[in-house]
Structure formats: C-alpha cells, structure tokens
Chain A
C-alpha cells in the first residue's frame, strides 16, 4: 500500500506551547483516524501537511503528488476545516463549481463535478438555495463536498462530526466510509471521539500532548475500549470495593463507576456487586471510551 503522508521528526511550537514534539508517522491509503483530545496537535498536523504553516523542524511530506511544488501539490489534496467556512449568500451549486475551478478544473468540468459530488453527499434540490439557510448537517455535507469536488487523492477531515446530532453523526460517518471505500479517496479523519474513529477507520494514529501515543490497525484499539458506566445514588464506595473483590477493574468518574473490560461475565459481576453493596442503582449503560479515559487508565 502506498504511503500518502509522512511525518519525520515533525515539530511545531506556538509561543511556549509545543504543539507537536518530534512526531513520526505515516499515513497509508484507506481511512486513517487521527485521534487525540483537544489540543493534542491534530489540527496543527493537518495544517502542516497542507503547507499552511511551516514546521520548526522535521518534514511533513505529501507523497501522492508527482510535483515538487508544494502549492501545486494541493491540486490533489482536499481539506475540510472544523469551523464554518461557507459563504451564506451563495448557493451550494455555485460555490462547489467555483471551488472546483479554484482547484484547477476548467469551468465546464467544474460544473459537472459540482452536480455529481453534491448528489453523492445527498444535497439535491437544496443546492440552488443560498447556504445561509442550511442546517448544520447540510453544511457539513457541503463542506465535505467541497473537499472532494476536485477528486483528490487524499482528503483531510478535521472533526467532521462536530455539532451534529446522533443521526446526523451516523450519516456523516457513513458518508465518510463510502467516500473512503467506494470512491477510493484516501482519508485522514481527525477526531477526539474514539467511537467515530472505530466505526470508520482502517488505521489509527493516536496523538497525545504533541506526541504519537499509538499507531496501527484499528482492531488493536476497539477491544480495549468497551466499558460500562454504572451510576448509583448511594454506596458508591461499597460498590467499588465489591467489584474489586471480584477482580473487576474500575475507575470512579464523579458519581459514576466506570467498569473496564466488558464481557458477559462483567454484567453478572456488576449485578451481584450492586446487590451485595446495597447501592441504589439507577443507570447501567455500555459505553465506549473517550480517548482521555484510555490514557488515564493506562
């Protein structure tokens, strides 16, 4: 599999904060998750690869383009920023056509691609309305569309599910999966949510405090992230003790107990422990780890 992005000793400092600390990683074809808490250096890494900022040391290379001109290399790369970036008084159709031309496509081809890509992201009749009237979900889809309208080899998506409700989030992740697997466009998906990355990506790179904490195929991570949230009114400590006696790993997060390593036996153990400790149980739910928890328990 071809290597699309390569970071070697990549370092970037903003004032006194070290955003990226001599980072090495490679991004292969397919969908790669760039996982990290806020401030872990994800957006900085993406901006370095786009050539928007210069690294203090090390290299951020885009190997998909044949050209050595960093500006021309952007012909084959797409970017969807986290923030709003759509002009409100322009229609999606006109905007996509314009953006395709800015990426170097001739006007006629740009118009054809614009219609095609908008259909793929599920914007049909609405594309002739000014984008100011769009819902958050539609805006996110147009943002994705503008990132792939010029048929790049690779797109960088920065928190594409931000601000979406659960249904919109599912749709967006499905769209990203289709873009990556059916359209054959490689993707780097930056997210702070383990769940998003798990459900969508083939590979994952975990950034923490400006360093690469983990990288590899996604399967390595999913098993470790099954957790169970137990919330009780009283008897929190008794419950934790009881669980500990059953060799169940727990951590306390405010008023809830987080149980690690969930399997069939875990549910039985939790049930027994609740009864034994006399705690008043009012919520029991499986949950995936957020990244912060993965690191806190390690």
Chain B
C-alpha cells in the first residue's frame, strides 16, 4: 500500500480473516470479570455512573481516615491505647456494615439487571461461555470489589495503629492476630452483602427495585424478628436474633475477633450468617439456571 502525492489515497484492504489466537472459555470468563469490575466502579463511563460506587466507598473509608488522624494526634500527645480502644479493627464493621450493605444493594444489580433488561445476555449465552460461567464471573467481580472496600480501611487502621505506638514492632508482635481476623471478618461481611445484592438483582430487571428488595429484606427480617425476639423472650427470643442479618453479621464479626458475644454462642451467629449467604447464593443459582433455559 502506497500513498500517492499530497492527496493521498486510502486503500481498502477488504475483509481480513482472523488467524490469531482463540483463547476460548478462560478468556471469556476473564473478560466478563473485568467488565464487571469496570461496570461496578463506573470506569470508562460518564461521571453519573461513578457517583454512587465511589460515594459509598468514601463513606466506608471515612472512619478509617478519621481514625488515622486521631491516632496520629494521640501519638503526638503520647497518649495511645485507651483512646483507640474503641476505634480498632475489631469494631470497624459495626460501622462499615451499613455502607457496605447499601453499596451492594445499589451497585451489585448493575452487573446483572441491565444485561437482562437490555437482553445483552442473549449475546453472552451464544458465546463460548456457560450461564454458570457468566454468573460466576459477575459474582466474583463484585465480590472482589467488596473485599477490597472491606479490607482497605482495615489495612489502613492496622498500619496507623502500629505506627502510632512507640514501638511498632512490639505492636505487630502483640497484635498480629488482628490481621487474619479482619481478613476473615471482611470475607464474611463481603460475602453476605455480595450475595444479597446479586440475589436481589436476579429477582427483577430494574436496579432501583433490586436495591429496595435487598434493603427491604434486611430491614424487614431484622425488624420482624427483632420485635418477635423482644416480645417472645426466653430461649426462642434469644435464638430469633440469629434471623436478623445485621445482628448475625456483627456478632459473627465479634466472635471472629475473639470478643465476648452475648445471648447466643458466637459460632451460631457465624453459622447464621453463612446460612444466609448460602441461601441467597442458592436462590441466585436457581434463578439463573431457569433464565438460561
């Protein structure tokens, strides 16, 4: 191909067959995963798509930032320890659970609802990809983001707490157990919120409705069983607490951090949270099995 003179001339090369590599199913899964991450965070889209996810991320991160400032000030004054007793890794999810929940309810449906509403899913299912590949890639994409949002503040808190003491190494030696604990607790929280947001999204094609369903489920069950629990009293009353997702998640967190847990044994709260997560994933799975057919 040459260009002649100043005017130049464009040669149409015609249609080119593709002879390059085809990476099949694994490429398809990875592409869907990364597309899910980008969609959830609004990357490559207009500013309006970014407000929501980054707003919630900021809210979830906020207290960690405040904590770092407090820790820094406290270490300057030379008074660490007591001041920071309440603001630590172990209590972080008590606060961050609500923003993480709202984040999952409003943002996770963006990975499932529009695909069905605009029927893009019809194009995915005729490609080298099973419907379960699709679902798994989408769930993992949102779960990865949720985990990052859940872990990042914990890492910051741990780092700032250790640096604000006079002997960071001693802090590390004494408190290293907090790290696997917050890794486990964050996993539990993120798994619950992700499966809730995704399961709600599988019930409707509209994102706002999915958000209301997810929030309504949490508020509804916790209010319902909260009232039932406080009116029933006795053993039934105690065990009804397990059916309140926020209570179960927060107490499971306490249990993981080795805190004393009231009313019902800690493992029961952990079990209840896991049961909620598994049930929601099962709902999601059955919904998508039917949709694919």
Contacts and interface: CB of A to CB of B under 8 A. Distances in A.
A196 interface: no
Given A79-B126, A84-B119, A86-B118, A116 B27 contact: no
Given A102-B127, A103-B28, A105-B22, A87 B15 contact: no
A228 B80 CA distance: 96
A232 to B, nearest CB: 46
Contact of B123 (A85, A106, A109): A85
B128 A74 contact: yes
A132 B119 CA distance: 14
A6 B25 CA distance: 25
B4 interface: no
B49 interface: yes
Contacts of B18: 105, 109, 113, 150-151
B38 to A, nearest CB: 9
A102 B129 contact: yes
B14 interface: yes
B120 interface: yes
A71 B118 contact: no
Interface in B1-60: 14-18, 20-25, 27-28, 30-32, 35, 44-46, 49
Residue of A84, A101, A104 contacting most chain B CB atoms (<10 Å): A104
A104 B17 contact: no
Contact of B128 (A75, A120, A151): A75
Nearest to B123: A85
Contact of A72 (B15, B25, B46, B125): B25
B124 interface: yes
Contacts of A81: 119, 122-123
B115 to A, nearest CB: 8
A77 interface: yes
A87 B14 contact: no
Contacts of A102: 27-28, 31-32, 123-124, 127-129
A58 interface: no
Given A72-B25, A89-B45, A98-B31, A103 B128 contact: yes
Given A75-B128, A79-B123, A146-B123, A98 B22 contact: no
B82 to A, nearest CB: 51
A85 B17 contact: no
Interface string A141-169: 00000100011000000000000000000
B24 to A, nearest CB: 5
A120 B15 contact: yes
Contact of A71 (B30, B44, B129): B129
A285 B125 CA distance: 45
Given A84-B119, A89-B45, A182-B14, A106 B128 contact: no
A183 B16 CA distance: 8
Interface residues of A, number: 39
A272 interface: no
A52 B126 contact: yes
Specify the main secondary structure of chain B where it touches its partner. Answer: loop
A193 B28 CA distance: 36
Residue of A84, A99, A102 contacting most chain B CB atoms (<10 Å): A102
Interface in A94-138: 94, 98-99, 101-107, 109, 113, 116, 120
Nearest to B46: A89
Given A50-B126, A72-B25, A72-B128, A183 B31 contact: no
B293 interface: yes
Contacts of B16: 116
Given A53-B293, A74-B128, A105 B20 contact: yes
Interface residues of B, number: 36
Given A87-B114, A88-B118, A89-B45, A71 B123 contact: no
B283 to A, nearest CB: 23
A127 B211 CA distance: 32
B274 interface: no
B91 interface: no
B125 to A, nearest CB: 6
A83 interface: yes
A111 to B, nearest CB: 12
B125 A104 contact: no
Contacts of A103: 22, 28, 127-128
B75 interface: no
A139 B173 CA distance: 62
Given A85-B119, A89-B45, A98-B35, A104 B27 contact: yes
A64 interface: no
B133 to A, nearest CB: 8
Nearest to A146: B123
A44 B117 CA distance: 22
A195 interface: no
B28 A101 contact: yes
A148 B273 CA distance: 46
18 contacts: A53-B293, A75-B127, A79-B123, A83-B119, A87-B115, A89-B45, A94-B44, A98-B31, A99-B123, A101-B28, A102-B27, A103-B127, A104-B23, A106-B20, A109-B18, A150-B18, A151-B18, A184-B15
Interface of A: 50, 52-53, 71-72, 74-75, 77-79, 81, 83-90, 94, 98-99, 101-107, 109, 113, 116, 120, 146, 150-151, 182-184
